[in-house]
């Protein structure tokens, strides 16, 4: 089918808030949303939901007896999905598909039930049904009463954009004309934090940001996650929680936010469990596929994956320089502000892309010096990659 596919709604819950107006206002200031929480006696930087968002999740959990035993990863996705469907104007019991993924799924519940088993050598009745990966999309389909297909998957940190690829393919096949896609992650648990620390990539403490020529950020706090800072001398990944969901529709309806102009994906040959090549061959391939026959100079902005690690950030930049050798677009990321939300990160990056296109304003990374800023934003490329080099690139075009 040659008809274009559009994004008609996006909704999220993250450290930046719960409404698109609130999220955009947060992006307009240079303050990070990262905070310190205590995990096993150690203060740790994380991107945690704010009080209002937590209240909304608690209200959702208490609204139905069936929801009281669900993991936060499911509740986050339920909240975002309800808001997205409302914004898109979709009706319940419609024939739309659902594909919401997660890197780690029901993290807190799984750890809770496994700890109970280690102590008591017995398992709770709800341990299996509430921790299986498929329960995210299943609960959303139940809640929204959709009659379409329901799919969950995990492809580590590129999970949400892989969900978009899947929804895009379903619509192109003609089997459905609408799909809800996204990612959800609730990884702020002691064991998950310990795992990332064991990789020696977690941020140890805040560092003072370099000041730009205009001295615009001299009053801003330090940035514990130095994503896209190519001068850093230590890894600075910080974990965050949240969910983001978009509605895909065939054609270009009046409420279209953007058109998906290109999709790309690639996987590298592994040399190590978390390896990526020095010049991110997977990103080179995914970006080239997403661009298709488009002149790379036509891309105005790239939202980087940039996890805040030395190798991860530098390899993506090198890949971009190889593909956009004549003119590297404006580069930005949101991980310095909200942390790395694993399976949800790609869709939260796509949210930033849509907001920049909608408001026609490029969001800078405050500790990065820019030679120029685009006056008009018509095309934005969004990147994501997971452990094992599973890269995805999505090219968005503004609806004129």
Mean pLDDT to the nearest integer, 62-81: 97
pLDDT (tens digit per residue) in 173-216: 999 999 999 999 999 999 999 999 999 999 986 444 443 333 32
pLDDT (tens digit per residue) in 311-341: 999 999 999 999 999 799 999 999 999 999 9
Q: Give, in words, the CATH class of 5-398.
A: alpha beta
Give the pLDDT band (50/70/90) at residue 32: very high
> Which has the minimum average pLDDT: 35-49, 181-195, 212-226, 246-260?
212-226
Beta bridge partners of 303: 332, 382
pLDDT (tens digit per residue) in 114-162: 999 999 999 999 999 999 989 999 999 999 999 899 999 999 999 999 9
Mean pLDDT to the nearest integer, 47-70: 97
Which tokens belong to 228? Answer: 């896209």
Beta bridge partners of 182: 100, 245
Check: CB of residue 127 under 8 Å from CB of residue 113.
yes
pLDDT of amino acid 260? 98
pLDDT (tens digit per residue) in 292-307: 999 999 999 999 999 9
Q: What is the pTM of this model?
A: 0.94
pLDDT (tens digit per residue) in 8-21: 999 999 999 999 99
Is the pLDDT score of 308 beyond 60? yes
Mean pLDDT to the nearest integer, 242-266: 97
Torsional class of 49: left (φ above 0), alpha (ψ -120 to 50), beta (otherwise)? beta
Q: What's the Cα-to-Cα distance from 153 to each of 96, 135, 159, rounded to whole Å?
A: 18, 10, 7
pLDDT of amino acid 339? 98
Longest dimension (CA), the chain: 63
Check: CB of residue 362 under 8 Å from CB of residue 348.
no
Mean of pLDDT over the chain = 92
pLDDT of amino acid 140? 96
pLDDT of amino acid 270? 63
Cα dihedral 84, 90, 92, 95 in deg (nearest 10)? -110
pLDDT of amino acid 205? 64
Which tokens belong to 99? Answer: 């594909």
pLDDT (tens digit per residue) in 73-95: 999 999 999 999 999 999 877 78
Is the pLDDT score of 56 beyond 70? yes
Give the pLDDT band (50/70/90) at residue 277: confident
Distance CA 381, CA 395 (A): 4
Mean pLDDT to the nearest integer, 215-235: 74
Return all residues near 121 (Cβ < 8 A) that are at least 6 apart. none
Ordered by start, the domain boundaries in the chain are 5-398
pLDDT (tens digit per residue) in 340-398: 999 999 999 999 999 999 999 999 999 999 999 999 999 999 999 987 779 999 999 99
Distance CA 297, CA 301 (A): 10
pLDDT of amino acid 92? 78
């Amino acid at each position: 089918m040659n008809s274009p596919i559009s994004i008609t709604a996006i909704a999220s819950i993250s450290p930046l808030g719960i409404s698109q107006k609130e999220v955009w206002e947060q992006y307009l200031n240079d303050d990070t949303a990262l905070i310190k929480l205590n995990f096993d006696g150690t203060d740790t930087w994380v991107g945690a939901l704010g009080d209002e968002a937590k209240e909304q999740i608690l209200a959702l959990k208490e609204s139905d007896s069936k929801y009281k035993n669900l993991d936060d990863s499911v509740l986050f996705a339920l909240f975002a999905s309800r808001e997205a469907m409302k914004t898109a104007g979709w009706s319940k019991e419609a024939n739309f598909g659902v594909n919401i993924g997660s890197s780690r799924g029901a993290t807190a519940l799984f750890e809770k039930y496994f700890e109970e088993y280690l102590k008591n050598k017995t398992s709770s009745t709800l341990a299996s049904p509430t921790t299986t990966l498929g329960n995210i999309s299943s609960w959303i389909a139940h809640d929204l009463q959709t009659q379409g297909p329901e799919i969950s998957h995990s492809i580590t940190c590129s999970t949400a954009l892989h969900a978009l690829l899947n929804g895009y393919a379903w619509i192109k096949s003609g089997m459905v004309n609408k799909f809800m896609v996204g990612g959800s992650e609730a990884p702020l648990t002691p064991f998950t934090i310990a795992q990332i620390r064991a990789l020696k990539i977690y941020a140890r403490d805040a560092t003072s940001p370099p000041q730009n020529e205009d001295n615009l950020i001299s009053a801003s706090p330090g940035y514990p996650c130095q994503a896209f800072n190519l001068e850093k001398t230590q890894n600075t990944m910080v974990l965050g929680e949240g969910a983001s969901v978009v509605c895909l529709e065939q054609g270009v309806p009046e409420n279209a936010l953007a058109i998906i102009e290109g999709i790309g994906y690639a996987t590298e040959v592994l040399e190590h469990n978390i390896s990526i090549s020095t010049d991110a061959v997977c990103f080179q391939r995914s970006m080239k596929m997403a661009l298709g026959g488009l002149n790379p100079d036509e891309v105005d902005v790239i939202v980087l994956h940039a996890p805040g690690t030395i190798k991860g950030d530098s390899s993506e930049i090198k890949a971009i320089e190889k593909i956009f050798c004549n003119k590297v677009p404006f580069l930005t990321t949101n991980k310095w502000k909200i942390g790395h939300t694993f399976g949800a990160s790609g869709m939260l990056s796509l949210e930033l892309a849509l907001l920049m296109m909608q408001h026609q304003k490029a969001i800078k990374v405050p500790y990065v010096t820019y030679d120029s800023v685009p006056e008009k934003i018509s095309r934005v490329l969004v990147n994501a990659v997971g452990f094992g080099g599973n890269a995805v690139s999505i090219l968005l075009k503004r609806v004129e």
